[in-house]
Amino acid sequence: MAFALSDLQLSSSAFDHHRDIPSKHSGEGDDVSPQLEWQGAPEGTEGYAVICHDPDAPLVQHGQYGFVHWVLYNLPSTVTALEENTQQGTVGKNDFGKLGYGGPMPPEGHGKHHYYFWVLALDCQTSLPEGLTLPELLEALEPNLLGMNRLIGTYKRS
């Protein structure tokens, strides 16, 4: 399946779709991942991955635009929610060069950015190694992708 939206629905108790992400979840705050939950997974879903990407970041690197804030994978199909500051799953490398979640922190004076939190439903449970970058993860997952959808939050540096 190509990377296309499905009926999978992603939400958060921390912020609503197209609304501000609380500073607690930013690089200016506690820098903890927000609570997320999803429903409506395609039939045959055996695993999930979660990504957070800022397409408004003025960067092009490794053939990609924007900035990757979170790469999380190896989540079994029994997981349909992540608590705040989750320790579930396997963490990949974000564009800060670190493992795990790195919250919103747009450049000063750059205005409001949009943060796309994606959940990907897979037809198998993965056991990929820690530290994958977003391109490495997407290359590994593409053959197993059943569906995906996103929750968009916004953040403006104070």
Mean of pLDDT values over 128-143: 96
Domain ranges, residue 148: 9-155
Q: What is the pLDDT of residue 59?
A: 65
Q: 3 in a domain, yes or no?
A: no
- Is residue 55 assigned to a domain? yes
In a domain, 4, yes or no: no
Tokens of 74: 């190896």
2: in domain = no
Tell me, yes or no, whether 115 lies in a domain. yes
Query: Nearest to residue 71, comparing CAs of 137, 154, 149?
Result: 137
Total structural domains within the chain: 1
pLDDT in tens, 71-83: 999 999 999 999 9
Average pLDDT over residues 61-75: 86
Please check whether residue 1 lies inside any domain of the structure. no
Residue 58 has pLDDT above 90, yes or no: no
pLDDT at 115 over 50: yes
CATH at residue 143: 3.90.280.10
Read off the pTM: 0.94
